[in-house]
Amino acid sequence: MPAPSPAPPPALTEPGRAGPARGPSPGDGGGDDPRRCFARLLAADGAALAPMAGYTDAPFRRLARAYGATWAVSEMVSARALALGDATGLAISAPHPGERGLVLQLFAADPGEAAAAAGRLFVAFAPAALDLNMGCPVRKVVQRGCGVELMRDPGRAAAIVAAIGAAVPLPVTAKTRLGLDRVAAREVVSAVVEAGAAAIAVHGRTATQKYAGEADWDAIAEIAAAVDVPVIGSGDVADATAYARARARGLGVMVARGALGRPWVFRELLGGAAPSPQEVVAVSWRHARDHVAWYGGERALPRLRGQLAAYAERLGVARGAFVRVATLEDLAAAWRAAAGIDPVAPDVAALDPLVDTLPRCPRPPGRRRRRPRA
Ligand SMILES: Cc1cc2nc3c(=O)[nH]c(=O)nc-3n(C[C@H](O)[C@H](O)[C@H](O)COP(=O)(O)O)c2cc1C
């Protein structure tokens, strides 16, 4: 349980209580060469929010950025589905009003489909950059020749990066793993860099490891040493010590699971205070209200239960009531019962890192299909 000391106001990079956004974002440009924007970002302190299917939506990205995430990556969407006119990927990828530095991620097997999908995303949202998923090991994705399957075929991975780069005036990045069943990413990483990738994110595990074992940052650093673009490491960074260790290697850092139910982790990585129990409650309340507003009603709350339970765990209280939340009032009652904290009490509401509530997410016309989970 974090120390119950009052926390200082969070460092804001999105409009919030402390005023307008600060600091550069991808998309702010890199002078003459937009590919340089990641080099500039990595020169500054801070970590990015890694893509997580089912989690890194607009409400969560906004909170992460409010606490200092340097940029945020949306969850992967299918290039084929987008190329065929499906609306699901557009709905999932939608930025919230005023969102800067949004990197949208595609999974793709075909350069033409990737180019068409990139064009749709660019026209709809003008994101800061597009990222190619080369690390998802989920069967449904791999069977379609996407995700980590691209690591078997550096030529195709490179062709997809080149096709996206030719289709839209945006930096293109790629996110990969260390290899399939052993460390062997060098060839594919060099190929996509040669094809124009502006930065590479590397999850420090192989595909067969999925999420087991420790991320291998030595292997990430070896990959980084072999290319001349910024490399952002991913895996097991959840505190200031791990963050500092990664930065000392000259690498950028992405945080995924360590941010679930804990968007203030980006403040902590930079030496900021752990939140008070009241702040944890205020943040979870903000998250739930934005989730309800963005998805158009309380019926969407069950999808947030995992994160609500994670907030409870951060405070060391039982998660039982949080995994049953069906209404905002359920959540308020759960906090009152579990921690004796009322989210709507003025002293708690004052710790909300954001001011305005999100609008309803855009609902692009067209068919929607079920999406695979990473
Ligand atoms: C639930 C979940 C969903 C994920 N979805 C994606 C995804 O859509 N795209 C991607 O490139 N990586 C995805 N990842 C991998 C993460 O971005 C990250 O590389 C990995 O979890 C290791 O970082 P961590 O130890 O900080 O969690 C996902 C991970 C999790 C746990």
Which two tokens mark 72?
């945020």
Pocket lining for ligand 1, CB < 6 angstroms: 50-55, 75-76, 105, 133, 135-136, 175, 203, 234-237, 255-258, 374
| Residues in contact with 225: Cβ distance below 8 Å, sequence separation at least 6, in sequence order | none
**Per-residue pLDDT tens digits for 192-201:** 999 999 999 9
Distance 372 CA to ligand 1 centre (A): 13
Give 7's DSSP letter.
Answer: P
Residue nearest to atom 14 of ligand 1 (CA): 52
Q: Could you give the residue numbers annotated as active site? A: 136
Residue 38: the pLDDT is: 85
pTM: 0.92
User: Ligand 1 centre from 374 Cα, in Å?
Assistant: 7
pLDDT of residue 371: 56
pLDDT at residue 297, rounded to an integer: 97
> Which residue, chain included where needed, has tokens 């996206």?
164
User: Atom of ligand 1 at shortest distance to CA of 203?
Assistant: 19
Q: Which CATH superfamily does the domain covering 34-269 fall into?
A: Aldolase class I (3.20.20.70)
Residue 19: pLDDT over 70:
no
Average pLDDT over residues 203-231: 97
Which ligand 1 atom is the nearest neighbour of the CA of 76? 8
The pLDDT value given to residue 173: 97
Domain ranges for the chain, please list them: 34-269, 277-349
Q: Name 80's Cβ contacts closer than 8 Å, sequence gap at least 6.
A: 108, 109, 110, 113, 117, 144
Q: Is the pLDDT of residue 207 over 90?
A: yes
Q: Tokens at residue 162, please?
A: 């080149």
The pLDDT of 252-272, averaged and rounded, is 98
Residue 20 has a pLDDT of 32
Q: Please, which residues bridge with residue 129 across strands?
A: 103
**Which comes out higher in pLDDT, residue 29 or 297?**
297
- Indicate the pLDDT class of residue 368, thresholds 50, 70 and 90: low
Rounded to 5°, angle at Cα 346 from 284 and 271:
55
pLDDT at residue 31 above 90?
no
Residue 85 has pLDDT above 90, yes or no: yes
Decide if pLDDT at 18 tops 60. no
**In this structure, which residue's CA is closest to atom 13 in ligand 1?**
52
Q: How far is the CA of 39 from the centre of ligand 1 (A)?
A: 22
Report the alpha-carbon distance of residue 129 to residue 92 in Å, rounded. 16
Q: Which of 146, 210, 234 to mutate to test the pocket of ligand 1 (most atoms within 8 A of CB)?
A: 234
